[in-house]
Chains A and B, each alone.
Chain A
Amino acid sequence: MRSSEGFTIGDIRCSILSVAALLVATAGPLTAQDRSAACREVLQRRFPDAAGAAAVPDDQMCFVLAVAVGDALRSPLFSDGLISPRDLQPTSGGDAATGGSPAQGEPVPTVQPMAIGGGTVAAVGSDAGTDAITALTINPGIFFTTPRDREETARLSRLSDVTVFFPVNELDRDNDGDVDYFGARVRLNWTGLSAGRRLMERARTRFAALMQQEATDAFRIAEVLSAAPNVAGCVDALLAQVGDAGTIIAACGEDARPRIDAGAYEQFRADLAEIREEIDAKYFGLDLRLDVGDPTLGAVPDADATALTGGFAFGRRFVGQAHATSLGFKGRVGARYTDLANLDENSFAVDGGLAFDVRRPVDDLRSVTLSGGFEFRFGDAADQMEALLQTDFLVFRASLSVPITSAAGVSINVGAPLIGEEISPTLSINANWALLLPELASLVR
């Protein structure tokens, strides 16, 4: 049919379709610009502190918003308390080194150092009566590192510490003007961070995989936002973590909910826990001791001596499951040279021990630890000199250590000689604290 103006119905239809096609052709780019603008507006409203967002090109604005939305939903997964922070904290190396003194706090002392410093005040009962011994420990590594030297700082904080101890109730019992007894200990732990290296690699691999998942999801959400009928409503629904897919689809055009593998995040956090556990699960190092004066605190006359002890120490904790009760053992073997001060006598002896312990973490820094073991020293001293030289004995030692706070605890320690009647049994109650001088740490900055 043809109209009076000469147009047919087909011509009109063709014109309408042409106009519609033109509108569709021009509406596409306009809609994309509108959605980019909407993404920019939502980002500014929802994440006003985002640095550098103003300079982002329009065509990448929805991607930036998608990353921000994904971050808001994923960040809690890194720190929500599926694993308690206190479970991450190793418990070893938390006490001053009093090994070999009447205030010895472990059946076989560790050589794992304190990170910065600490101390112990011990009430000691022995054949000499009651005494109080104070020990102070400092990690010299803090003086030899700089903030920029991160690996060295991490290594040195686990490498070595130095302890000095002395009785504090009667420093000069014989009134000769000299301190009757004092000692020094040096602990060197060669194991350092190497034990945790393998687990760190595993954690890095998992973290990289999580990052790829996060990026893949961000690209997917960005595509949804770039075509969403209601960008603001879509973001609102995503951030509100609406569980109903229908609500999401109505706002976003499709189901844009982030695909988060919660199990992967949980495994990543578990790896972090294992890293810290593993770092301190084993050690091997040197245990160096100097004792000057009367180590019997007056129980044996003429026992004044200078004694040097050097030995290897090792330990291993079997952490089947992070944060759970664990078993461990500690060993030590070395040589001791003793030179009596008032008599022309000296001796060499083999000195060592082996102990087992059960540990239950209950605090960021500390655990309840029950341990027991044997220490021995046998040498070339004549029978009548064994008490003076404090040698030729086998002692059973046991200890119970209980935390009070994250940086302090109390231990009860007993020593009962099985061989060597001249050796005094001991009972000590030690108050231990770590990070005694936190201001020392500022020296390395």
Chain B
Amino acid sequence: MFKGVIQKNTPVSADLSVDGGASGPAILFIGFGSREGGQSDSTVVAPGASATLSLTPKTQGVFRVLVDLSSESDRGQLGLRPVTPAEPISGDTTWGYAVV
């Protein structure tokens, strides 16, 4: 889902909290792509835990947040500071942003 616009050189942080009742760990990815190349980071988030990944896109390009939950019925909370406040998610989720 396209969520909006990020100003380049702005540090952005993806925050994921996985519900304690989730059936297994989730994987959180963030990535940025430009003409020059791509960069990404990821982490595993256990049920009941939270994680934050940060990245600063420095040029015009595309930014993406991807959450891969163990089960489509698993739930959590995802936000991307400072653009998108935390909101509930259910199942695998991906958010796209334009960096200008």
Contact = CB atoms under 8 A, between A and B. Distances in A.
Nearest to A142: B48
Given A64-B5, A67-B98, A68-B98, A214 B62 contact: yes
A50 interface: yes
Contacts of A148: 50, 52
Interface residues of B, number: 57
A67 B99 CA distance: 9
B83 A406 contact: no
B1 A208 contact: no
A204 B71 contact: no
Contacts of B60: 60, 63
Interface in A48-62: 49-53, 55-57, 60
A321 interface: no
B70 A364 contact: yes
Given A75-B94, A215-B61, A438 B21 contact: yes
Contacts of A47: 2
Contacts, number: 213
Interface in A15-68: 47, 49-53, 55-57, 60, 63-64, 67-68
Nearest to B21: A438
Interface in B69-100: 69-72, 83-84, 91-94, 96-98, 100
Contact of B17 (A147, A158, A196): A147
A276 B24 contact: yes
Interface in B56-73: 60-62, 64, 66, 68-72
A211 B59 CA distance: 13
A350 interface: no
B43 interface: yes
B48 A444 contact: yes
Contacts of A193: 44
Contact of A407 (B20, B23, B64, B66): B23
A50 B5 contact: yes
A50 B48 CA distance: 30
B interface, by DSSP: helix, strand, loop or mixed?
A: strand
Contact of B49 (A207, A211, A365, A444): A444
B77 to A, nearest CB: 10
A36 to B, nearest CB: 13
B44 to A, nearest CB: 5
A329 B84 CA distance: 47
A5 to B, nearest CB: 55
Contacts of B1: 71, 75
Contacts of B62: 67, 70-71, 211, 214-215, 218
A322 interface: no
Nearest to B37: A212
B86 to A, nearest CB: 12
B94 A78 contact: yes
27 contacts: A53-B5, A56-B100, A67-B2, A71-B64, A78-B66, A85-B71, A145-B49, A153-B45, A154-B46, A154-B49, A200-B42, A203-B42, A204-B29, A204-B41, A208-B39, A211-B31, A211-B39, A211-B62, A212-B34, A215-B34, A215-B35, A219-B35, A438-B20, A438-B21, A441-B19, A444-B48, A445-B48
Given A63-B98, A142-B48, A208-B31, 17 more contacts: A47-B2, A63-B60, A63-B100, A64-B100, A70-B96, A71-B62, A75-B1, A85-B92, A148-B50, A150-B45, A157-B49, A211-B31, A215-B62, A406-B71, A407-B23, A441-B47, A442-B48
Interface of A: 47, 49-53, 55-57, 60, 63-64, 67-68, 70-72, 74-75, 78-79, 85-86, 88-90, 115-116, 142, 145, 147-148, 150-151, 153-154, 157-158, 193, 196, 200, 203-205, 207-216, 218-219, 272, 275-276, 279, 364-365, 406-407, 435, 438-442, 444-445
Nearest 8 Cβ contacts at the A-B interface? A441-B20, A441-B48, A211-B33, A51-B4, A71-B96, A150-B51, A208-B38, A147-B50
